[in-house]
Structure 1
Amino acid sequence: MKVRSWLIVLAASLLISGFGHNVAHGAPYEGYTYNYWGNSVKSPIAFLPSRVITGNDAGTGAWQSPLDLYAAHNGLLYVLDSGNGRIVVLNDQWETMRVIQHFEHEGKQDSFLNPEGLFVTESGQIYVADTENRRVVELNSDGTFVRAIGAPESDVISDTFEYFPRKVIVDKAGRIYVVGRGVYEGLIEFDSDGRFTGFMGTNRVQFDPVDLFWKSVSTKEQREKMIRFIPLEFNNADIDEGGFIYTTTADKNTASAVKKLNPSGIDVLRVNGEFAPVGDLSINRSSFIDIQVSGNGVYRALDSTRGRVFTYNEDGNLLYVIGQLGNQKGTFKNPVAIESYGDAIYVLDRDLGQITEFKPTTFGGLVNEANRLYSSGKHSEAATLWQEVLRLDANYEMAYVGIGKSMLREGKYKEAMTHLKLGNDREYYSRALAKYRREYMREYFGIYMTVAIGVLVSLITWRRIARSRNERGARDVAN
């Protein structure tokens, strides 16, 4: 087992050795995470910028206000060049494969008008949220027109409803989910035939109790002038392999900036830590603008406030933070979309009209691989890599927790308690403590009972002897 564990470490190191021990002073931003108490703690850089591409580099001319990005399963990268009303398709070498700008529709040439969202299925079907044309357009992989899905039609929809699709995702069954501008009822859901089936995952109404009180005692005219309590609208969405939909809400004051919706529209996002995935915990909170789901339950949220990417695992624990606003390579002016493929992360900058690619450092590669192993049930192998993570960052709480959980599964309860305490994981520490107590009592119960019985027998014997002596003494006095 030890040989196998060290082989895993060696393999992981070789996989990321191309990025070596990238030193912090070479990065345009600092690495950090948050501890149990909500304080930011410095951490090694997890990802560094590796290359940047613009429209001119790709040979298509400058990209004008690009708003979305999609990394397909075959490695192709789709750029929604919104200002130019086109889609640019790049291969893994960042060479332009095709440009989709016009398509034939009902015998006429048609085009996009300020599109904001893009999605590509595994089979290569392209869905575009053609915002100002108020429709979702489906194209074949070669750019030929398939159909257009217009505004939803239903008796439950108000006559004042305006349909401006901003983002679109599609599940494996062909159901289409649309994020609409100014739509507070949730995601707009269509079946595979493009028929409206309802709204999904409505955000709960956020209100201030003080405002609620004043509304209750105000006149009708005064109430009309007050802010209405309405749900928060989604601003982006992504879907994982299991069909769960992840959404973001831009409001900085909500505790549910990220949601994970099951097929019934219920939020099932796991939050094991002390803080929900809301980005920065400072006074100036993060405002998420995009979300991207990777494998093994990992998801990344893009913050438009400071231009940072927050990566969380399936338990809602923050793994690392990369990026920031700035003028250097690896920083952004106005980041709007995030994608990943393999071990690379891509961030699209609207104002600069460029994509920045990030690759993992030794630290980032170890964290990703350790988390992958743990998520797939290989806890002992994951623990070996978490030990390597601690050599690079002795304050990384997730590593202590990972090792502690592994030891808990192996029955090493006392060692598990030590690591879980260092990782400030109260829930699993309590589990380890309960099991340790049970094991301790099982092991030493016989000894304790033997001692207890011996003490009890000795006490009874001593009392009998004392009583006998007292009785003899009393008889002697009487005689």
Structure 2
Amino acid sequence: MRVKSWLIVLAASLLIAGLGHNQAHAAPYEGYTYNYWGDAVKSPIAFLPSRVITGDEAGTGTWQSPLDLYAAKNGLLYVLDSGNARIVVLNEKWERVRVIQDFKHDGKQDRFLNPEGLFVTEAGQIYVADTENKRIVELNQDGSFVRAIGAPESDVLSDTFEYFPRKVIVDKAGRIYVVGRGVYEGLIEFDSDGRFTGFMGTNRVQFDPVDLFWKTVSTKEQREKMIRFIPLEFNNADVDDGGFIYTTTADKNTLSAVKRLNPSGIDVLRVNGEFAPVGDLSINRSSFIDIKVSSHGVYRALDSTRGRVFTYNEDGNLLYVIGQLGNQVGTFKNPVAVESYGDAIYVLDRDLGRITEFKATTFGSLVNEANRLYSSGKHSEAAKLWEEVLRLDANYEMAYVGIGKSMLREGKYKEAMTYLKLGNDREYYSKALAKYRREYMREYFGMYMTITIGLLIGVIAWRRIARARNERRIGDVAN
């Protein structure tokens, strides 16, 4: 009997050790977020790598320097195999559906030349930024040619303007937006007929005050040798269901690495916290090279500096971070594109020629669902999930804020203040405090007034009694 018990304990120990080993193998990076003070705080891992695929494993041959990836809403995955000048289409099982390598154009066979960008509409139309051919190519779902959109033509363009389209997106109205190499004026906009209509969302000029001072005191010859102050160029873009365009800028010194442009080209990105969505807050800042907009205002930005994916909600709050540079499964050598479909995140690695899929852990699923309910206005339901999140991570400030806002809506102002303070949300803490004061005074106003009036009456009565005593004392002395 003792031997049997000993064997059970040994088996359990081996099982636990095995689970620990598998978990360590499956999580080659640490999870973290940033707190109110800008300090990195450890957090449970939100997504873990679930599978990896290469061109050889997909049956399409080795992918050479793939540069872009698109996950369509019908489950198809499009890989822009740039080095081989082709598009590889995979289904949800990552099986080959088709390979688009050439197409008939004006009766002749045509091919891409170093393409860098890919976009697929809900109708299945494929748009390719055919970079070195200086055009945007539209194809049908089967890969047949529809049209080519060449360089923009307008009197506002300078004679030195060069057109090398790098990325392309299309909104529901059919408007086409292009990220051009060396184009600082903003996104190049075409209407649905392919006519150039102007630039959109120009970045503000970034400059160093020290450099500006030296420019003012330098000679003409010295100024000509200095770096000119020019706007930063966009390096990628995506569009949400509402027609808002999200852009990324790779410069590490900018405070607007991510923008959300309305139809007028004005940045309307929410920044609810103390820090804008810029990735890592350390000295070696992040450099975003791709962005993917998901549902309920969630967006993910890919950092090329450390190979990480930062996920933010519609208020600009950091939800979680996954990935890093490395050689293990779940890490990258040169990540170039991020996509998402359902509960999965995909990252394309250019140098390794492979796609890594990540699936949500229990923690990640709770955060995603709580944020979805929160974004939908279902604060009470979200609060229950935020409580589950806090059981897994007691330092997760977003959960405290979510619960605090739920209590604020329910009229539990004092409890809301406690949670909002823990979440370091000063704005909503002030709102809860103001409502708590108002409610407190409304509830106890009658009692305080009764006490105040009673005290006043007591003081008046005491004064009259004291005065009467003084008058009697004076009369006695006079007699």
Moved more, 212-221 or 227-236: 212-221
The aligned residue for residue 235 of structure 1 is 235
Cα deviation for residue 214 of structure 1 reads 1.1
Cα deviation for residue 23 of structure 1 reads 4.3
Moved more, 26-35 or 59-68: 26-35
Structure-2 separation of matches of 1:208 and 1:428: 35
Check if 1:397 corresponds to 2:394.
no
Structure-2 separation of matches of 1:389 and 1:214: 52
User: What code does the residue aligned with 2:364 have?
Assistant: G
The answer to whether the Cα contact below 8 Å between 1:252 and 1:286 also exists between their aligned partners in 2 is: yes
The aligned residue for residue 145 of structure 1 is 145
The aligned residue for residue 466 of structure 2 is 466
The aligned residue for residue 273 of structure 1 is 273
Residue aligned with 1:234, SS: coil
Structure-2 separation of matches of 1:144 and 1:23: 46
Report Cα offsets for 1:189-221 as digits up to 9, x if no partner: 000000000000000000111111111121111
Structure-1 separation of matches of 2:269 and 2:77: 28
The aligned residue for residue 201 of structure 1 is 201
The aligned residue for residue 13 of structure 1 is none
Structure-1 separation of matches of 2:255 and 2:24: 32
User: What code does the residue aligned with 2:310 have?
Assistant: F
Report Cα offsets for 1:330-368 as digits up to 9, x if no partner: 000000000000000000000000000000000000000
Structure-2 separation of matches of 1:35 and 1:25: 28
The aligned residue for residue 248 of structure 1 is 248
Structure-2 separation of matches of 1:271 and 1:159: 39
Structure-2 separation of matches of 1:26 and 1:410: 41
The aligned residue for residue 11 of structure 1 is none
The aligned residue for residue 35 of structure 1 is 35
Check if 1:212 corresponds to 2:212.
yes
User: What code does the residue aligned with 1:254 have?
Assistant: T
Residue aligned with 1:326, SS: coil
Check if 1:324 corresponds to 2:324.
yes
Check if 1:388 corresponds to 2:372.
no
Which ranges of structure 1 fall in alignment gaps of 5 or more residues?
1-18
Structure-2 separation of matches of 1:59 and 1:71: 19
Cα deviation for residue 28 of structure 1 reads 0.6
4+ residue runs of structure 1 moved beyond 4 angstroms? Answer: 22-25
The aligned residue for residue 294 of structure 1 is 294
Cα deviation for residue 469 of structure 1 reads 1.1
Cα deviation for residue 26 of structure 1 reads 3.7
Residue aligned with 2:404, SS: helix
Structure-2 separation of matches of 1:218 and 1:252: 27
Structure-2 separation of matches of 1:79 and 1:229: 37
Alpha-carbon RMSD across the aligned residues, in angstroms, is 1.3
User: What code does the residue aligned with 1:135 have?
Assistant: R
Cα deviation for residue 468 of structure 1 reads 1.1
Structure-2 separation of matches of 1:210 and 1:321: 35
User: What code does the residue aligned with 1:280 have?
Assistant: D
Structure-1 separation of matches of 2:376 and 2:85: 42
Check if 1:257 corresponds to 2:257.
yes
Structure-1 separation of matches of 2:79 and 2:435: 53
The answer to whether the Cα contact below 8 Å between 2:76 and 2:91 also exists between their aligned partners in 1 is: yes
The aligned residue for residue 16 of structure 1 is none
User: What code does the residue aligned with 2:398 have?
Assistant: M
User: What code does the residue aligned with 1:168 have?
Assistant: V
Structure-1 separation of matches of 2:376 and 2:132: 43
Cα deviation for residue 25 of structure 1 reads 6.3
Residue aligned with 2:476, SS: helix
Structure-1 separation of matches of 2:436 and 2:455: 27
Structure-1 separation of matches of 2:370 and 2:180: 38
The aligned residue for residue 4 of structure 1 is none
Report Cα offsets for 1:396-439 as digits up to 9, x if no partner: 11111110011111110000000011111111111111111111
When residues 286 and 425 of structure 1 are mapped into structure 2, their CA distance, relative to the original with a 3 A threshold, is: same
Structure-1 separation of matches of 2:314 and 2:456: 54
When residues 343 and 129 of structure 1 are mapped into structure 2, their CA distance, relative to the original with a 3 A threshold, is: same
User: What code does the residue aligned with 1:454 have?
Assistant: G
When residues 453 and 24 of structure 1 are mapped into structure 2, their CA distance, relative to the original with a 3 A threshold, is: farther
Residue aligned with 2:235, SS: strand
Cα deviation for residue 85 of structure 1 reads 0.4
Alignment of 1:420-439 (within 5 A): 420-439=420-439
The aligned residue for residue 339 of structure 2 is 339
Structure-1 separation of matches of 2:418 and 2:24: 30
User: What code does the residue aligned with 2:349 have?
Assistant: D
The aligned residue for residue 59 of structure 1 is 59
Report Cα offsets for 1:4-27 as digits up to 9, x if no partner: xxxxxxxxxxxxxxx9xx946640
Structure-1 separation of matches of 2:23 and 2:272: 32
The answer to whether the Cα contact below 8 Å between 1:24 and 1:44 also exists between their aligned partners in 2 is: no
User: What code does the residue aligned with 1:31 have?
Assistant: G
Structure-2 separation of matches of 1:86 and 1:422: 52
Structure-2 separation of matches of 1:339 and 1:159: 37
The answer to whether the Cα contact below 8 Å between 1:28 and 1:331 also exists between their aligned partners in 2 is: yes
The answer to whether the Cα contact below 8 Å between 2:26 and 2:329 also exists between their aligned partners in 1 is: no
Residue aligned with 2:113, SS: coil
Which ranges of structure 2 fall in alignment gaps of 5 or more residues?
1-18
Residue aligned with 1:437, SS: helix
Structure-1 separation of matches of 2:213 and 2:316: 35
Q: TM-score, normalised by structure 2?
A: 0.95
User: What code does the residue aligned with 1:174 have?
Assistant: G
Structure-1 separation of matches of 2:418 and 2:23: 31
Report Cα offsets for 1:55-95 as digits up to 9, x if no partner: 00110100000000000010100000000000000000000
Alignment of 1:1-20 (within 5 A): none
The aligned residue for residue 412 of structure 1 is 412
The aligned residue for residue 444 of structure 1 is 444
The answer to whether the Cα contact below 8 Å between 1:24 and 1:45 also exists between their aligned partners in 2 is: no
Percentage identity across paired residues of the two chains: 88
